[in-house]
Each structure stands twice: as C-alpha cells, then as structure tokens.
Amino acid sequence: MSNAPNPGKKSFGTSLQANVDAVSAMFRGSKDLVIRYLSSDAAPGRAMALLFIDGIVDSDTINTNIMNPLMSVSLPPDISAKGDKLIAALADCVISIGSVQSVKSPNDAAELMLNGLCLLLAEDSSVALMADANGGEQRSVTVPQTQTVIRGPQHSFTENLKTNISLLRRIIRSVDLHVDIRTIGRQSHTNVGVIYIHGLAEVGVVREVYRRLEEIDIDAVLESGYIEEFIQDETFTLFPTLLNTERPDTVAAELLEGKVSIIVDGSPLALIAPTSFFAFFQSPDDFYQRYDIASFIRVIRYTAYAISMLLPSIYIAITTFHQEMLPTTLLISLAAQREGIPFPGLVEALLMEMTFEVLREAGLRMPRAIGPAISIVGALVLGQSAVQAGIVSAGMVIVVSFTAISNFVTPEFNMAATSRIIRFLLMLLAGIFGFFGIFLGVLFVMVHLASLRSFGVPYMTPLAPLNIGLFRDIFFRMPRWAEVFRPSDISKSNRRRGGSGKKPEHQRQSKKP
C-alpha cells in the first residue's frame, strides 16, 4: 500500500501544472475529465487551464460565458491582477456567469466539479475559480405520469434538484420558503434538499428531520426511497409513514400546512413529513373541483379501499361458514355455480387472487405498447377459461374482479399495495375462522394503525386521538371560504390561513327575482 499523501488534503500551489495534476489525480485519469489549456487577453503571459466533467456541464454556457470572455476581454488598467488577485479580477470583470466562487484545495474543487461546476486555474495563483455551468442532457418538465388530475397544473418534478426547487419557488413566492441542501452518500455524494416555510413548520419537526438525515450512513443514495427507509418512524409496518409525490402543487399545499418536504437529486418523487393515514386518500383533484363533488369522491375512495381488503374474505366466510346470511335465491344460485368445483372457497379465492397479481405484475414489466393488452386479455381469457373448466366459480371471478378495480381507486400506490397484502391475510383468517377471523384481523390492523406515528404526529389523527375540529378536511372537504385554520396537529404556531370563515357577501345576499 502506498504511503503517498492524499492530494485532496493539500492546498493549491502556484504551479499551474502541479495544480492540474493534483485535480487530475483526484479523478484517477477518468476519461470524461476535460482539461483545456489556454491563454487569455485578460492576463497576457500567464497560462491558464479550464477543467470540467464532460456530460454534466452545458457546453454553450462554457463557450459563451467563460471561453469567449477570456479570449477577448481585457482587464481595466487600474485593476491589479498579480498573483492570487487575478482570480478575483476574472470573477469581477471577465466571467459572465452569475454563480462563481473561489476554492483553495483540489478536494473542494473536485467535489464542486461533480456538481456541474467548471474549474479555472491560473499560473502563479494558489486560488482557483469555480463557475456554475451545470447542464447536460436532462429530462424536461413533463405531465405527471403516476398522479394525473382532470383539473389542475400539468407539470411534475424531474430528476434535477435545482429544477424541482425552482418549480416550488414559482408556486410559493415567499421569502419564508427555506431551502437547505445536505450531501448524503459516501460514494454518490447525493444532494438532498430540505424545504419548509419559516413560521409554519414546527421547529421540533424540522430538527427531527435534520437529525434523522445526519444519522444516514450509506454508500449511495439513488432514489428518494433510500432516504424514506432510513427516516421513517417504523420499519416493520405495511403502511407508509411518509407521503411521496411527483407533483409540485401537492408539495406546495403540504408546505403551506406546516409540513416539511425532502427532495433528492436524481429522483422525481418528493417526500413529505409528517403525514397521516387519511392523507393517502386525498387527491389534488379534491382541491380543484367543487367541494361537494370532492367530498363524494372521497367517500367512494374510502369505501373502495375497504372493499379491496374485505370483499374476498367476506365472500369466503359467507360461502364456507355463514350461508344462512344469504337470501335463499342467491344461495341456490351460488351453490349451483360451485357444483363440480374441486376446491374449497379459500383455495379458489387464493388461486384467483394470485393469478390476478401475476397478471398485474406482468403488465407492469412488459413494454408499454403491449403491457395493458396482456393484462386485459390475460384476465378475460384466464377468467373465462377457468370458469368453463370448472376450476373456479363465476361468482368468485366477479368478486376478484371488483376487488381489483376497487384497489385502483386509491390515489397513492404504496397505500393501495397495503390492502393487497392485508387481503391475503384476511382471506386466510376467513377460511379458518369465518367472520370471527375477519374481526380479529381488522382489529389487529386498527390497533397497529393507532400505534403508528409520523415524526411525532399520531398516524390516525384525528380519529386517534379524537379531534372533531380536524374532521373538516378528512372525510369531507369544506368550501374554500370555510377553511380558515391549518391542521392543529401539524402547525401549532401559525394556524390561521386567512379569511373570516363566513360566506362571501354576494353568496349571503338573497337573490332577487
């Protein structure tokens, strides 16, 4: 093992070639490190070198704002450019990029170069200049892919942290919007942004977010899911305790309620903390449509979520243990359908549910051009063939199909996935104990939900603990003029949104004939 000192621990010297070699040694001869030697009219007789990482910088920015000015602009005669003063003079009078800074060590220079900055070194100068030329091929802002709305903004986050922050700045144009950047990952050095609004976000929640981020020790952070697993309150739970979204308007709305957002460079999904169980059943559409329509749709979502968990297990329990609960005509019809079926109700339901889960996963992994066709055709063909072959009954196919459709109603995918897993557990309990098993399973789920917390906030608020005042935006959405206060469980210091809580004057006045 070599005992040579690490060049990253040294400071720049006055030799241009030695400084270039020190930076090059940091990248160990990587071929995407571009080194461009040049001479400038701004400092005749002093050699310079421009270094940057190819692919993560904008070539037009470098040519227009760095190379061309260095080649054509001369420093005013009253400005001294001797020694280290040259770098300051170039930053003030020549380089036409808004974000520039000076560095004194190869280690600092290499770290900034990996973030899209280019390095300017000069002979007889122990200080280097870093200019922000971040660019390269990146995905542009597009329509949301996983959280579509009928009415509302049609833009989503990208994989670029600066772009995502700018999208939020365009929505919340307030000096109280605070952005802090942390670097996580020993190898990836991923930038992670913590965003909140001063005066709305609770200080204790913000401190807890920082504390959990500082405890993360990992080689690389490739997506926001890495951060989520480290900072979530409970590891062994099916229910997500952090909300994720690709919509800037959703993040802005949550920030205005006093929550904190975590955005990871390289991920189009932002994390929001704290959150509650009921937040996963709210859609941006709820706040862009009329309150009565939004309230009706919310009731449908909660009902569909319960159906997606309970319907197969209820069918198994009734057909296996509690046939007396069915009307005689329906009981005779189901008995006729099950005549000749070789499997009991539990095995029949498990077989159909597993078949549908395989079809769902196959549709997701197949190319987009044929994925939906595979799912639809596979479900139709297999369902009809299974009934004709006498493997499953037609009633079971109807139950499984309606259960699957109900599962798609839940807006958040990670919450919808929990009902898929719980469904299988309840089916097993129903097949063994009937309704008593379903009751035990639901009771266990409710107790578990009541025990969860998200950054200190009870997961089932406002049901547990009970807070009647927070029901205004849980199961139903109140009219916009009635939403005067922020949720008290999130923002305790500045709860008032604005307004008087009364109808607008023109709505209170009786209409004249």
| pLDDT tens, the chain, 513 aa long | 333 444 446 899 999 999 999 999 999 888 899 999 988 887 888 899 999 999 889 888 999 999 988 888 887 776 666 777 888 888 888 888 888 999 999 999 999 999 889 999 999 999 999 999 988 777 888 888 888 888 888 999 999 999 999 999 999 999 999 999 999 999 999 999 999 999 889 899 999 999 999 999 999 999 999 999 999 998 889 999 999 999 999 999 999 988 999 999 999 999 999 999 999 999 888 888 888 898 899 999 999 999 999 999 999 999 889 888 888 888 888 888 878 788 888 998 898 888 888 888 877 777 766 666 666 666 667 777 777 778 888 888 889 889 988 999 999 989 999 999 999 999 999 999 999 999 999 999 999 999 999 998 899 988 888 777 677 778 888 777 777 767 666 666 666 676 656 676 666 665 555
Encoding tokens for residue 447? 């107790």
pLDDT at 127: 92
Give the separation between CA 52 and CA 38, rounded to whole angstroms: 14
Structure tokens at 59: 């070539």
Under 8 Å between Cβ of 372 and 408: no
pLDDT at position 369 is 64
| Residue 408 φ/ψ, nearest 5 degrees | -75, -10
At 5 the pLDDT is 41
User: Tokens in use for 338?
Assistant: 């099950």
- What is the amino acid identity at position 313? S
Question: Strand, helix or coil at 102?
Answer: strand
* Residue 454, beta-bridge partner list: 457
How far apart, in whole angstroms, are the C-alpha atoms of residue 416 and residue 357? 13
β-bridge partners, 51? 35, 119
* Per-residue confidence (pLDDT) for residue 464, from 0 to 100: 81
Separation of first and last alpha carbons in the chain: 95
> What's residue 509's pLDDT?
67
Closest CA to 57 of 97, 101, 89: 97
Query: Of 446, 472, 443, whose CA–CA distance to 460 is shortest?
Result: 446
| pLDDT value of residue 48 | 92
pLDDT number for residue 3: 38
**DSSP conformation class of 66:** I
